């Protein structure tokens, strides 16, 4: 049977190709999960900034203070009129929202708008009726693994921004 051409692949060749595909896939999956975790973190920061902006708009439109309250378990938050603040009433239902899975609030820090006072932990961010805040706030969002992201609320202007933890100042 010399000179006859082969018309297929041997079982050994097929198994070898499948093994190479399996090893490549096993190496690629963790890398893809890390990339997607970064996207989730940015998405969570965008959602928090959007909700804070919505809260600032409501405060201006309604002429009353609002507060952004972090949950104790760190995976959700609530926006509601600030009844502890001057002229605050609780006549509208709070807005509740959750962060994407694997993303949690690592904490929030309040500091004075002039940069002179001490920083302190907080679970509430207050927005005044003019859309500004009495303090600057840094809200840290953290994935289950990897680098955290900070959402900043500038007290005097109400400006919202985000940056990786440890980067960017006021």
Average pLDDT over residues 23-37: 78
Average pLDDT over residues 98-127: 82
Q: Which domains does the chain have, with CATH numbers?
A: 11-164 (3.55.40.10)
pLDDT reported for residue 90: 56
pLDDT reported for residue 170: 43
Question: pTM here?
Answer: 0.72
pLDDT reported for residue 91: 66
- In this structure, which long-range contacts are made by residues 86-90, counting pairs with CB atoms below 8 Å and at least 24 apart in sequence? 87/129, 88/64, 89/64
pLDDT reported for residue 23: 92
CB neighbours of residue 139 within 10 Å:
24
């Amino acid at each position: 049977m010399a000179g006859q051409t082969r018309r297929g692949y041997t079982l050994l060749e097929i198994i070898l190709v499948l093994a190479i595909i399996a090893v490549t896939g096993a190496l690629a999956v963790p890398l893809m999960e890390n990339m997607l975790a970064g996207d989730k973190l940015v998405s969570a920061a965008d959602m928090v900034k959007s909700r804070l902006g919505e809260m600032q708009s409501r405060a201006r439109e309604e002429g009353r203070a609002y507060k952004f309250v972090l949950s104790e378990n760190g995976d959700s938050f609530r926006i509601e009129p600030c009844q502890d603040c001057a002229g605050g009433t609780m006549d509208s239902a709070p807005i509740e929202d959750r962060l994407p899975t694997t993303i949690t609030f690592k904490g929030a820090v309040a500091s004075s708008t002039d940069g002179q006072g001490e920083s302190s932990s907080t679970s509430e961010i207050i927005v005044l009726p003019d859309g500004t805040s009495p303090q600057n706030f840094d809200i840290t969002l953290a994935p289950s693994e990897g680098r955290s992201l900070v959402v900043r609320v500038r007290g005097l202007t109400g400006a919202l921004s985000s940056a990786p933890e440890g980067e960017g100042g006021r």
